[in-house]
Structure 1
């Protein structure tokens, strides 16, 4: 297991060297895909609201995102404005200053801390003379590098195409080149003519690919729904680990279950959800799912594409909302995660425990501030050292939905399978072996109560 994880980690690092925003479409030809080659970059942000510290934290996070994508950050600047400039995002004067910085540092890419319109990207590129990408494209690139499962790859490709569609650009700015005859699929007489413009042809092919991906994802989500329904039918409670990217969710899953999930100090190391079994201190079985990390201004294309994955959160009985206690702005991270919850139907209604992680690296002031704010709904842990994990498991035990049915039955020895199920699915208080069979005293779910009722006999009270 350790060797597999080590190989996985090495492979993940190797993937960082690969160029990113590629749709891998064989049939969409001659489109300028603006592939990312993030090697030497300059960051730029627009500070429209909040404090200077908030603006600095946002640009620091952009730096972490850029480094996760495999780039070297050379410089960064922030422009104070009431709102982004509609032409160049940062204004013409700041754009010229940015051009000087790009030339002085030898950067090959500018990354903007926001989602830019196609016109803003074009105008800013015309000034700085190097590739310009926005925060959304950067996050999509990271997701493309980290997706490993078939479902994860399909979800990322769909999100990339949704982002790409309004940004299609013909070569040389000529959007009206027409494709007729053989290029448009026609052959000889009756097939020649103006046909579609090149941009229309590309747009149609991308729409067709998106429709195919949506069908694939829907088909894959059926299998996920079936597994979820099977767990629900057995009435095994579900816990979902959610939270900001790099808050330590996978480390916490490993600590609670010993799952052996890849842990890496990088943003979005986990894209494919992992579901594992665990037990409370009293022995009650529950499932625990690790989900994709959230981030400020998570692109809406990703929320849409990963909807089936994020539904693990809405369908859970309890959410462990993991927060990085050592981060400069943990409250901002909590707000960002809850904004994504708001986009998932039913997620805000699920009971939540705020798990303040990385206690070994956090300052006492931050931890005190968070525990005062969230009170009994919070707990302080360190997934790395194991501090507080026992108390967390006790809290999970308390917050999971209770089993309503208490039974005390004599179960024949030839139905030992029901005793075994009571241990797995319920809370066994005692089992006493008698000549006639086993006397089971337990709290059990409805499905098991029905089975026990068929074979068990009530115990006569003395």
Structure 2
């Protein structure tokens, strides 16, 4: 069975390179290169140096000119690097040309992210999604991976039958391509089963009428920490990129007694490969189908505005741009400059300032959720005959029962009731509490 090459297990020192083509892009290019350093470090690879190169035009062969490419290769050799990581996306042919020139392993930003995802995936679903994305990425690069066999076998030179003969490497490539296609097809089939299972789970939630919110945002913004703080659960929350790849849904209770389901989603990153968005659609569709979104931002990040825009772009790609959104400026406890706080309030006037780590602002956040869902519940009093104990059970199961008293043969119940079951109890309703 063909497997994608596990480069992180083979390399120790990396040279990071970002090539940009417009002087106006320099600041963003520097920021992206810094982020690439965090991504590469997440794989446990030492970063020897990060360099920014400007090319006057984009060259088809190597992105930059051959002279600049040769400088990059010499710098990598001087640092005794065993991998060059180019932040720009590389076409398969460009990757081959770089490796031919450098005689080193050369990878791009997408491959780094794919390798991180492969290491982070825990559940069967996450592993399937990563496998699909990695195979789709590797398929057009198989010739590069089997280049060492090109010199073996007969080749297709001149002479009788020369054009029809096939070398050993060519045959192996064909086998690997077929196996890769089979793996892609199998992963797609199994992910379709996952989607159907999620659809069944959503139907059950809809039947109960429980509101649902999806937590979205840039990777390492504190989404899992917020979920843990709100629900009392212990979802893995670490100060690292892409700590969460699997969706986790937990239940919490709002101040008005209404239940709320919260789903943590995979974090976003700038230039997130489109194939990863596609592969994780089974997971990300939780955001599309949620009643509203909770957009978590790292208030302490100097790049917060850009990270905010990245999430908005991904949500638009998913078709969730019209959802109601509660913006949470998380890690606000790390922002100690009064001027910086004032600027945040000016830029994001409706945002909730919070710290999932300390608990600061969590009550304000829950009140914001309550306001969004205000029309979904009513506080009501009921007089229910004891022979209709089934309705009392319904209230205990699907509503928030505030008090229960007995008056003769009747049960007096005060409860916060979702609209989904209010109609079944209307006959027994008294004046609102």
> TM-score normalised by the shorter chain: which range applies?
0.7 to 0.9
Change (3 A) 1:107 1:339: same
Shift of 1:173: 6.8
Give the aligned partner of residue 412 of structure 1: 385
Please show how residues 432-443 of structure 1 align to structure 2 within 5 Å: 432-442=405-415
Please state how far the C-alpha of 1:273 moved relative to its aligned partner: 0.7
Per-residue deviation, 1:178: 9.6
* Structure-2 separation of matches of 1:120 and 1:400: 52
Aligned: 1:172 with 2:148? yes
Q: Is the contact made by 2:126 and 2:245 (CA closer than 8 Å) also made in structure 1? A: yes
State the alpha-carbon separation in 2 of the partners of residues 433 and 177 from structure 1.
Answer: 91
The answer to whether residue 325 in structure 2 is matched with residue 349 in structure 1 is no
**Which of the numbers 89, 102, 105 marks the counterpart of 1:128?**
102
Distance 2:55 2:83 in 1: 23
The 1:375/1:459 distance shift into structure 2, 3 A limit, reads: closer
Q: Is the 8 A contact 1:177 1:197 kept in 2?
A: no
**Which residue of the partner structure matches residue 49 of structure 2?**
75
- The yes-or-no answer on 1:337 pairing with 2:308 is no
Q: 2:357 aligns with which of 372, 376, 384?
A: 384
Change (3 A) 1:96 1:311: same
Say if 1:283 and 1:423, in contact at 8 Å, map to a contact too: no
Deviation at 1:107, TM superposition (A): 0.9
After superposing the two structures, state which structure 1 stretch, 365-374 or 116-125, moved more. 365-374
Q: CA offset at residue 428 of structure 1? A: 5.5
* 1:35 corresponds to: 7
Task: Give the 3 Å change call, closer, same or farther, for CA 83–236 of structure 1 in structure 2.
Answer: farther
Correspondences of 1:53-72 after superposition (within 5 Å): 53-72=27-46
- Asked whether the 8 Å contact 1:275–1:288 carries over to 2, the reply is yes
Q: Is the 8 A contact 2:247 2:264 kept in 1?
A: yes
Distance in 1 separating the partners of 2:139 and 2:321: 32
Q: How far does residue 70 in structure 1 lie from its aligned partner after superposition?
A: 1.2
RMSD: 2.8
For residue 73 of structure 1, give the secondary structure of its aligned residue in structure 2. strand
Greater shift, 100-109 or 88-97, is seen at 88-97
Corresponding position of 1:373: 347
Q: Distance in 1 between matches of 2:314 and 2:4?
A: 31
Is contact 2:117-2:245 (8 Å) kept?
yes
Q: What is the CA–CA distance in structure 2 between the aligned matches of 1:270 and 1:194, rounded to whole Å?
A: 46
Question: Does residue 194 of structure 2 align to residue 220 of structure 1?
Answer: yes
Q: In 2, Cα distance between the equivalents of 1:83 and 1:420?
A: 71
2:297 to 309, 323, 330: 323
In 2, the alpha carbon distance for the partners of 1:420 and 1:278 equals 20
Number of positions where the alignment pairs a residue of Structure 1 with one of Structure 2:
416
Conserved 8 A contact 1:325-1:366: no
State whether structure 2 residue 235 is matched by structure 1 residue 261.
Answer: yes
What is aligned with 1:282? 256
Aligned to 2:137: 163
**Offset, 1:408:** 4.3
Tell me, in whole angstroms, the C-alpha distance in 1 between the residues paired with 2:172 and 2:154: 6
- Provide the C-alpha distance between the structure 2 equivalents of 1:55 and 1:297, rounded to a whole number of angstroms: 12
Query: Paired residue for 1:452, among 415, 425, 429?
Result: 425
Whole-angstrom distance in 1 between the partners of 2:394 and 2:79: 66
| Residue pair 1:45, 1:59 contacting (<8 A) in 2 also | yes
* TM-score, structure 1 normalization: 0.83
**Which ranges in structure 2 are unaligned for 5 or more consecutive residues?**
156-164
Shift of 1:417: 5.5
Report the Cα offset of residue 100 of structure 1. 2.0
Please report how far the alpha carbon of residue 367 of structure 1 lies from its aligned counterpart in structure 2 after TM superposition.
3.8
Q: Please, which moves more after superposition, 44-53 or 279-288?
A: 44-53
Gaps of 5+ in 1: 1-25, 180-192
Shift of 1:405: 6.3
> Structure 1 residues 439 and 155, CA, compared in 2 at 3 Å: closer, same or farther?
same
> How big is the shift at 1:92?
1.7
Contact preservation (8 Å) 1:367, 1:380: no
| Contact kept in structure 1, 2:84 and 2:107, CA below 8 Å | yes
Question: Residue in 2 aligned with 1:96?
Answer: 70
Displacement of 1:248 in angstroms is 0.7
